[in-house]
Amino acid sequence: MHLEVLLNDLEKEATKELVNLLDENLDTSNNSWWQFKVIKCLSPIQQQHSIKNDINSLDLSALINVFSYNYSEFLTQNVFKGYELRSLALTIRSIRNSIAHQSMSTSFTSDMILYFLITYKIFLNKIHDINNVDKLLIIEDINKELLIQMERYQEAHGQPISTQNESKTNDTKEENKTLSYLEKIINDLDQIKSNKQEIITTNENMEETEQNINEAEKSDNYANENKIDSIEARDLLIGLREDIRRIYPDIPRENGILRIDMLQLFITKKINKIEKFNLLPNELLEKTNKKQLDQLEKIFSIINRINY
């Protein structure tokens, strides 16, 4: 499954789970419940798109607003304990805003994608388990993508990549090593997120806070887009390489424009325009399938972001 398709499916799944939770646990006994428990915590635009007394009419961001606003009521009802789910929900909204209208392969490194996926996995598992005993099928898709992104992370950072012929013992060791890497990545990124994230405490400043978060994320994205190191660039190029392989599945890897030796040359030689690319040795250019040259601008855009 393509990563962008998976993330779109995860947003739909999170929307469905929140709708189910609110339908089950939101107190609607008062005739004015929609006004005081829903409309009151929505932005003007969200209010315009809502249908009275219909939780299903709300998008994910609006549902998270309602969920967060009524969280204390859910705690009182013992629907769950602690504030972890609220924190996860706000992080899901931040992820949704971050990835909107951006290419996953050229905008986000594998560690950030791992963070996105694991956050969704934890959130979906916890919220689904509240009123259900079955397991979410989409978790299997998340796990598959986690392994793909972990392999990408290991390659970008020069870590050994396991092969399919390894014994079960070695598989276990590699799995433990992978979990160790994931734990470090998530801990580091979680610290960054916790330093950035603003906590919404009252309805009066919810709309203003959401706007501030969006503006801060835009600013962060702008700064990140202009400052990456060579390892991050390598990571993004590996991600782009996988996208290119999906576009041209019949082209052998050894003829790909981002095969290992070419990828390294793009970075070390700062090949960021067609004139430089054409100066590469003929044997390298002749080995590169010409169909993939239409991806050069995407490659150049990543190279231009490297802080040499």
- pLDDT mean values, one per 10 residues, the chain (308 residues): 89 96 93 95 94 95 96 93 94 91 79 95 94 88 94 84 44 50 57 47 45 51 66 95 93 96 95 95 95 96 92
- Tell me the percentage of the chain whose pLDDT exceeds 70: 77
157-208 pLDDT, tens digit each: 886 544 444 444 444 454 455 555 555 555 555 554 555 444 333 344 444 5
Q: Which of 152, 141, 149, 138 is nearest to 115 (CA)?
A: 149
Which residues partner with 9 through β-bridges?
none
Which pair of structure tokens corresponds to residue 260? 């290992």
| Single pTM value for the model | 0.76
Which pair of structure tokens corresponds to residue 127? 């919220």
Which contacts qualify for 123-127: CB closer than 8 Å, 24 or more apart?
A: 123/14, 123/85, 123/88, 123/89, 123/91, 123/92, 124/10, 124/13, 124/14, 124/17, 126/80, 126/84, 126/85, 126/88, 127/14, 127/17, 127/18, 127/21, 127/85
- The residues near 152 (Cβ < 8 Å, ≥ 6 apart) are 110, 235, 238, 239, 242
- Under DSSP, is residue 121 helix (H, G, I), strand (E, B) or coil? helix
Q: How far apart are the C-alpha atoms of 26 and 77, rounded to whole Å?
A: 10
Which contacts qualify for 4-9: CB closer than 8 Å, 24 or more apart?
A: 4/104, 6/141, 6/142, 6/145, 7/99, 7/104, 7/116, 9/138, 9/141
